[in-house]
């Protein structure tokens, strides 16, 4: 099979009736054998009934969640079910144009990309409601991940099959799939400017809470990729430095008191000085951070997954 098109949806009964025929026209015109995997992420409208109806006329697979688990869970299940040589992801709200699919497939095949991400260069969203937060988010993501994509969270993407079978999309990490791919060893990542359609039905599910959560997820992913297998390198380093600073201050106060007392000059008790309490706090925090790193290292070294490596080739 040439293509698997994975679509996560939530309450998109109206959009699906237009989207699936549109996909069929766009894909069949180029002679691709394809399947569409629709993952209903706990819809409360009649989306599932629409999927069942469309399955009679189109090559569809349907997955229905009992409740809303989020887009990452939907993509994870869709990737597991995908059988095509190239996997396409897109949103169900008609803002991603299926006419872009053949161009994405061409880039994967001819330019040997592992992943091609769409770039909504001209967006049909409000500037302050979505455009500005998106620009800030993408600028931060580029800086942290080192991946030069203009629109990392664009739903329209194309992957080689082996890519989606070797990454684990969990939590809210669907926003950072290119970074997950890079960490898994799939480093040839491209980008293509794609059409962004105005929303035709329903309302956007984007909110400021997603913007804030996305930033926190980015920090989590960066930390795990850098220190997930070597937590002592982070906690141990900071803990040791904090402990040493506290120790130096303590020694300085003690030496200062002894020297002043030996000269017969008036002196303050060490415990009467604010620096003493700062040094005490630094010693305690430093020790706690070091022990946290040590315990995390023990957990990491005894993890059942710590020796699972992705093999590219063997004979």
Give the model's pLDDT for residue 315.
38
Q: Is the pTM of this model over 0.85?
A: no
- pLDDT for the residue 309: 45
Q: Are residue 296 and residue 177 in the same domain, yes or no?
A: no
- Per-residue tokens: 37: 């995997």
**CA separation for the pair 130, 61 (Å, rounded):** 32
Instruction: Please report the pLDDT score of residue 306 as a whole number.
Output: 46
Strand order in the sheet with 157-160: 60-64, 34-40, 3-9, 86-91, 157-160, 115-119, 189-193
pLDDT (0 to 100) of residue 196: 82
Residue ending a domain, among 227, 249, 268, is 227
CA–CA distance, 23 with 202 (Å, rounded to integer): 20
Identify whether 308 is part of a domain: no
C-alpha separations of 268 from 165, 193, 245, 250, 271 in Å: 67, 69, 21, 14, 8
The pLDDT assigned to 307 comes to 46
The torsion defined by the Cα of 104, 106, 112 and 113, in degrees rounded to 10, comes to: 0
Q: Do 123 and 82 share a structural domain? A: yes
168 and 59 within one domain: yes
Nearest to 232 by CA among 166, 159, 307, 298: 298
Q: Is residue 108 part of a domain?
A: yes
Task: Please tell me the predicted confidence (pLDDT) of residue 108.
Answer: 95
The widest CA-to-CA distance across the chain, in whole angstroms, is 99
Domain that holds residue 148: 3-227
Check whether residue 108 and residue 190 sit in a common domain: yes
Residues 80 and 155 in one domain: yes
Cα separation, 279 vs 270, in Å, equals: 11
Show which of 227, 249, 266 is a domain's final residue.
227
Last residue of a domain, one of 162, 196, 227: 227
Structural domain contains residue 310: no
Q: CB count, 10 Å around CB of 53?
A: 13
Query: Distance between CA 101 and CA 40 in Å, rounded?
Result: 22
CATH code: domain of residue 74: 3.90.550.10
Residues 220 and 240 in one domain: no
Helix (H, G, I), strand (E, B) or coil at 55: coil
Distance, CA of 165 to CA of 284 (rounded, Å): 45
Q: What is the structure's pLDDT at 101?
A: 95
Half-sphere exposure of 199 (CA within 13 A, CB side): 12
As beta bridge partners, residue 38 has 7, 62
- Assess if residue 314 is contained within a domain: no
Per residue of the chain (315 residues), give pLDDT as tens. Answer: 899 999 999 999 999 999 999 999 999 888 899 999 999 999 999 999 999 999 999 999 999 999 999 899 999 999 999 999 999 999 999 999 999 999 999 999 999 999 999 998 877 666 555 667 778 878 888 888 888 898 888 999 999 999 999 998 877 788 889 988 998 899 999 999 998 887 777 666 555 566 566 677 777 777 767 777 788 888 888 999 999 999 999 999 888 888 888 888 887 787 888 888 999 999 999 999 999 988 887 876 665 554 444 544 543
- Is residue 202 within 8 A of residue 11, CB to CB? The reply is yes
Q: Strands of the chain (E only): list them.
A: 3-9, 34-40, 60-64, 86-91, 115-119, 157-160, 189-193
Same domain for 128 and 216?
yes
In a domain, 311, yes or no: no
């Amino acid at each position: 099979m040439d293509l698997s098109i994975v679509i996560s949806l939530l309450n998109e009964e109206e959009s699906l009736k237009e989207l699936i025929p549109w996909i069929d026209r766009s894909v069949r015109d180029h002679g691709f054998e394809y399947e569409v995997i629709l993952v209903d992420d706990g819809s409360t409208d009649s989306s599932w009934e629409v999927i069942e109806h469309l399955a009679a006329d189109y090559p569809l697979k349907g997955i229905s969640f009992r409740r809303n688990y989020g887009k990452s869970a939907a993509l994870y299940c869709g990737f597991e079910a995908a059988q095509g040589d190239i996997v396409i992801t897109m949103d169900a709200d008609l803002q991603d144009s299926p006419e872009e699919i053949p161009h994405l497939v061409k880039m994967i095949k001819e330019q040997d990309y592992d992943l091609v991400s769409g770039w909504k260069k001209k967006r049909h969203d409000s500037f302050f409601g979505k455009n500005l937060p998106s620009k800030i988010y993408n600028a931060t993501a580029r800086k942290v991940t080192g991946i030069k994509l203009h629109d990392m969270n664009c739903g329209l993407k194309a992957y080689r099959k082996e890519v989606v079978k070797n990454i684990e999309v969990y939590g809210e990490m669907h926003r950072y799939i290119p970074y997950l791919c890079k960490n898994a060893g799939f480093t040839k990542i491209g980008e293509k400017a794609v059409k962004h359609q105005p929303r035709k039905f329903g309302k956007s599910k984007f909110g400021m809470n997603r913007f804030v959560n996305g930033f926190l997820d980015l920090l989590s992913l960066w930390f795990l990729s850098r220190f997930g297998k070597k937590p002592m390198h982070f906690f141990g380093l900071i803990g040791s430095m904090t402990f040493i600073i506290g120790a130096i201050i303590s020694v300085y106060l003690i030496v200062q008191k002894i020297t002043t007392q030996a000269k017969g000059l008036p002196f303050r008790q060490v415990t009467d000085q604010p620096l003493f309490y700062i040094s005490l706090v630094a010693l305690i925090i430093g020790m706690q951070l070091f022990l946290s790193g040590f315990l995390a290292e023990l957990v990491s070294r005894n993890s059942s997954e710590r020796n699972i490596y992705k093999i590219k080739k063997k004979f």
